[in-house]
Amino acid sequence: MLQKRTDFNQWGLIGGALEFGETAEQACVREYQEETGLQVAVQSLMGVSSGHVQRYPNGDVAQTVVVEFVVKAIGGHLNAFNKETAALAYFDAAHLPPIFNTQHRQSIQRYYAGAYPYFD
Give the chain as a 3 state SS string: CEEEECCCCCEECCCCCCCCCCCHHHHHHHHHHHHHCEEEEEEEEEEEEEEEEEECCCCCEEEEEEEEEEEEEEEECCCCCECCEEEEECCCHHHCCCECCHHHHHHHHHHHHCCCCEEC
Q: What is the pLDDT of residues 6-51, one digit of tens each?
A: 988 999 999 998 999 999 999 999 999 999 999 999 999 999 999 8
> Domain 2-114: which topology?
Nucleoside Triphosphate Pyrophosphohydrolase (3.90.79)
pTM summary value: 0.89
Q: What is the pLDDT of residues 47-90, one digit of tens each?
A: 999 988 888 888 899 888 999 999 999 999 999 889 999 999 99
- So what's the pLDDT on residue 81? 87
